[in-house]
Amino acid sequence: MKKPIITLTSDFGVQSQGVGIMEAVALKINPNANVIHLMHGLPDFNLFYAARTMETVSCLPVGCHVCVVDPGVGTKRKPIIIKTCRGDFLVGPDNGVLIPATRFLGGIKKAVGITNEKYMKKPVSPIFHGRDIFTPAAAHLSRGVKIEEFGKELNPKSLAKAPYEEAEIKGNEIHAKVISINKFGSLHLNIRQVEWHKFRVKLKDEIILKFKNKPVKVPYAVTFGDVEKGKPLIIKDDYGRMEIALNQDSFKNKYKVEIGYDIIIKKIK
């Protein structure tokens, strides 16, 4: 029998016992599951980085994907399940963190609020829904429980908005945002590669980046070594978006850029 996939993503520290406890909860409900720790230790409460991380489940087989970046835990925000058109289930808080991933997974097929206590671990903690609501829901889904069993259907338009929308092409400019910054100080942007192609920039062409009134000229390259050490470039990242980096150095540190910053990319005529 094929082992169903459950992924866990959180802003817990990598040494948090919460990580192992969630895995144990999942395996108690479905011992046949293959639990993958996609990423932990995300920047605290950062919905941008978390949403970007959840996008990358599109690189995995279809599965049940839990996100616990939930600064509103225990408040009126809803715990939800989204079924995507690809067939994945995204489980987490209704704070927008799951929405960008649906754009990589074919869109939203159905969404429900999690209210059926039958599928929760009791007693439910007001501050650890990852253990008591989200992970149990994913595990039960992986066993074949229907999404309709968890609660009432929600109108996708009623869900909290994503922390970022897709970048816009405006003439010879792309208006974008920094949605995550990796450990090397490279910036990941809300520009999908399919949209970048529409911008019609050729390899080795130079463009101008504008952020905080700081213009930086960079070439469009294939890999980091296409420029000298310490020089900037823009490339396709590993997960369907665009990345700005320095070869063997930190763009973030050199130019003092943070997650959420606006960036304008302009063609050089």
pLDDT (tens digit per residue) in 19-50: 999 999 999 999 999 999 999 999 999 999 99
Q: What pLDDT was estimated at residue 56? A: 97
Statement: residue 180 has pLDDT above 60: yes
Statement: residue 2 has pLDDT above 90: no
Q: What pLDDT was estimated at residue 211? A: 87
Angle at 39 between CA 1 and CA 260, to 5 degrees: 135
Q: What pLDDT was estimated at residue 203? A: 94
Give the list of residues 6+ apart from residue 2 with CB closer than 8 angstroms, or none.
none
Q: What pLDDT was estimated at residue 68? A: 98
Domains of the chain in sequence order: 5-158 (3.40.50.10790), 168-267 (2.40.30.90)
pTM score of the predicted model:
0.94
Q: 101-110: buried (b, 16+ CB within 10 Å) or exposed (e) per residue? A: bbbbbeebbe
Q: What pLDDT was estimated at residue 214? A: 79
H helices of the chain, where?
17-29, 47-55, 99-104, 129, 135-142, 193-199, 251-255
pLDDT category of residue 13 using cuts at 50, 70 and 90: confident
pLDDT tens, residue by residue, 193-248? 999 999 999 999 999 999 877 799 999 999 999 999 999 999 999 999 999 999 99
Give the list of residues 6+ apart from residue 178 with CB closer than 8 angstroms, or none.
48, 187, 188, 189, 257, 258, 259, 260, 261, 263
Q: What pLDDT was estimated at residue 269? A: 72
- Rounded Cα gap, residues 196 and 175, in angstroms: 12
